[in-house]
Amino acid sequence: MKELILDYKRWRCGYMGKDENCRLGDRTRMTMLQSDLGRKIPLEHDRCCLGQFILQLRSDFTEEKIKDIADPYQFGMVIELLTYDNDGFIKNSEFSQEAIDINDNEYTTIVEKIKLLKELCLKHDYKLKVINLPDSLK
């Protein structure tokens, strides 16, 4: 079984929902977040779950290449697990659509999102490993 890694410290999810641990996914915010190491990290370096996954699935993709992409289909190519070709049109896969729905749901907590993403990954023969998750969320 293949493994995908989700880094909590870089994960942007939800909107202004009930979980204060969710970071707003608005790309236009350029405010800085304070990391546990005491250094500032721009929000522009954080990624939604699919943004983190695509960098693991495609070794030729870089942070710069995915910077302005909202959905995997926008790359215009078939990407393992994330997109498929539908008669010459690249579409988001079922996995991508479900992951987007989970990631962006403003009514679920981080813990609920992780549980749902793990279930989704397993459904597609992937294992999800979450790193840098605070003890309070385990």
In a domain? residue 138 = no
In angstroms, what CA-CA distances link 91 with 2, 13, 25, 87, 138? 23, 22, 22, 10, 34
In a domain? residue 72 = yes
Mean pLDDT, the chain, as a whole number?
82
In a domain? residue 137 = no
Range 125-132 average pLDDT: 96
In a domain? residue 47 = yes
Phi, psi for residue 38 in degrees, rounded to 5: 85, 5
CA of residue 122 relative to chain centroid, distance: 16
Query: How many domains in the chain?
Result: 1
What local confidence, expressed as pLDDT, does residue 116 receive?
Answer: 97
* pTM score: 0.82
What local confidence, expressed as pLDDT, does residue 36 receive?
Answer: 38
Domain that holds residue 115: 2-132
Q: Above 80 in pLDDT, residue 29?
A: no
d(CA 132, CA 110): 13
